[in-house]
Amino acid sequence: MEILGLLDTLESVILDSGKVPFTKKIIVDEEKLLAIIDKIRLVTQGGSDFAKKAIGREEARSSGPDAPEVTEKQKEESKAIEVIEQAYQMAKEIREGADRYADEVLANLEATSTRILRTIKAGRERLVKTVPAGSEK
């Protein structure tokens, strides 16, 4: 039963996380997720009383009247993560563009090679028809 509560908390953290524009990716607080995962491990290993206490302390700390405001460092880290995600997205788009270009070049090469191969086959067939069968060396 406690695991379901932890999974609900995990889901809540994921759903409340910021989204990366133009993607299905989100930016999550790594510490929160790892703390929830640790609590799930504790519950599954039989340390349910300890997990309850840890959950209670965490909820009190994060939702109390003196809950810490988002610090400047957290804002900078969030901005840095956003910039990194944008860089990864741009790199992905560049790779996809390069792949499309390479595919176009290879398709043109394939078409040209096919035309050349047909010309070679036609030339050989013409030679076979014009050269008498008994005149080979």
Residue by residue, pLDDT tens for the chain (137 residues) are 577 777 888 888 888 888 888 888 888 888 888 888 888 877 777 654 544 555 555 555 555 555 456 688 788 888 888 888 888 888 888 988 999 999 999 999 999 999 999 999 999 999 998 877 656 55
Cα 44 from chain centroid (whole Å) = 29
Query: Is 43 exposed, middle or buried, given 0-12, 13-18 or 19+ CB atoms closer than 10 A?
Result: buried
Amino acid symbol at 109: L
Identify any residues that bridge with 27 across adjacent strands, giving them in sequence order: 18
**CA–CA separation, 79 vs 88, rounded Å?**
14
Cα 19 from chain centroid (whole Å) = 14
Q: Is the pTM of this model over 0.85?
A: no
